Amino acid sequence: MQKLEVKIPKSRKDLPVTPLSVPTVGSMGKTGDWRTFKPIIDYSKCTRCLLCWIYCPEGAIERGEDDTPKIDYEYCKGCGLCANECPVKAINMEREKK
């Protein structure tokens, strides 16, 4: 049986050259009001690799100054993909307080 090897990208430079969709915010209005968990970025751990920005399916992460990721909580649905893809675990999912 052949063993499959999966290479996990450590930065956006390790991603294959393929077409990517450009993330955009919701065209029908704010969509982040119903999430249960929200991502919190620990900037002391963040390496600014922007994998969170690349993988966010809602376009709720913006590139700030010096490629610092900023989460737009009005559109973030709390899916956790950004936290899952962060190679240094700088994003934690915390229960939303309402």
Domain ranges in the chain? 23-95
Span 57-70, pLDDT tens digits: 988 999 988 999 99
Amino acid at 13: K
d(CA 51, CA 87): 8
Summarize pLDDT for 15-39 with one digit per residue, the tens: 777 665 555 555 556 766 778 999 9
pLDDT at residue 56, as a whole number: 94
The predicted pLDDT at position 22 comes to 58
Three-state DSSP class for 52? helix
Q: What is the pTM of this model?
A: 0.70
Fold of the 23-95 domain: Alpha-Beta Plaits (3.30.70)
Burial of 72 (0-12, 13-18, 19+ CB in 10 A): middle
Distances (CA, A) of 26 to 9, 49, 73: 28, 24, 12
